[in-house]
Chains A and B, each alone.
Chain A
């Protein structure tokens, strides 16, 4: 089975049999799209909520808003049908805590909000999520059944 590794600010789409994995999500969010009829999966590892807040926005996979559009396009190009596509999301934690209200430290929360808003705008339902907290996550999508394995250090593993 081929496993494609998705790095930070990166995305990929794969047909079954195959899996998509992204390692060590912290404040970043992993957006998973899955077409259960055609068994096609997509995964984006986004770092920031919005391409509109930032001047240097050439890497579209870096932002929740632009990454989702590209991921969806690539899913459709690979033969997925929009009406079959469901989403799962994971990540968006706060790795370090400070007293300050710095925006950077709340970036996880903002990434999750932006991801949810964009998925809603695209009309893609979120069927499960594992977000927040103060720990990192590795996620792996199995394109055979759409199950998403979430691994952590000290907070167990689960399938969502």
Chain B
């Protein structure tokens, strides 16, 4: 399938996939930190590579990225990305600490990976349950670095088959704006046909 000819039906389906997955992930996040979580409507973004690194507000912004490989009926990646301030606030909430900490230690990184793991797993589980798609995720891997460098990882995967990259993005916000995170589902393009077939629309 050619990324430049994605029709509106496929776009709607990808958005709905984002919706199903993120709703559950948002609930999981809310119960983990016992706070209200707002979720934006998932967006499907098709970007040229040169624009990819700027989608989080700048290529050099420090972020925490938690990365998963996705396999089964959809091959691709899931990434949960938080800016550094949000990442610190999130671990402070998890550990019930005062918001004084601005650097992340090993224990914090481990906690963030686990949060990512629960979000990605809820996303994938609800997708599996509501569709007939079989999905598996890898163990999490975390990196704290420039947004551009982190986003280049899924971009490179797409680079092998296309000149654009497709993200299904959902933004989460904790009620007081202390934690803002982006969950990305980045399906490989050869998964699109499989998704359509499994969902019975093709």
Q: Which chain B residues numbered 58 to 96 have a C-beta less than 8 Å away from chain A?
A: 58-60, 62, 65, 67, 69
Contacting pair A27 B59 (CB below 8 A)? no
Instruction: Determine which of B58, B153, B162 lies in contact with A95 in the assembled complex, contact meaning CB atoms within 8 Å.
Output: B153
Tell me, yes or no, whether A7 is within 8 Å of chain B by CB: yes
Minimum C-beta distance from A43 to chain B (A): 13
Collect the chain A residues with CB atoms within 8 Å of residue B149's CB.
24-26, 93, 95, 135-137
Q: In whole angstroms, how far apart are the Cα atoms of A54 and B161 in the complex?
A: 7
Whether A78 is near chain B, meaning CB under 8 Å from some CB there, is no
A98 contacts B139, CB within 8 Å? yes
Min C-beta distance of B155 to chain A, whole Å: 6
Q: Does B7 contact A (CB under 8 A)?
A: no
A25 to B52, CA, bound (A): 12
Interface size on B, residues (CB 8 A): 35
Out of A8, A59, A98, A136, name the residue touching B141 (CB < 8 Å).
A98
Contact A107 B156 (CB under 8 A): yes
> Contact partner of B156 among A10, A28, A58, CB < 8 A?
A28
B152 to A28, Cβ gap below 8 A?
A: yes
Is A47 in the interface zone, CB < 8 Å from B? yes
Q: Does B51 contact A (CB under 8 A)?
A: yes
On chain A, the residues within 8 Å of B157 by CB distance are: 104
Q: Is B17 an interface residue (CB 8 A)?
A: no
- The 4 nearest A-B residue pairs measured at CB: A24-B148, A136-B149, A7-B50, A26-B149
Given contacts A62-B159, A138-B59, A153-B145, 7 further A-B contacts (CB under 8 A): A8-B49, A8-B50, A8-B53, A23-B148, A24-B152, A26-B153, A27-B153
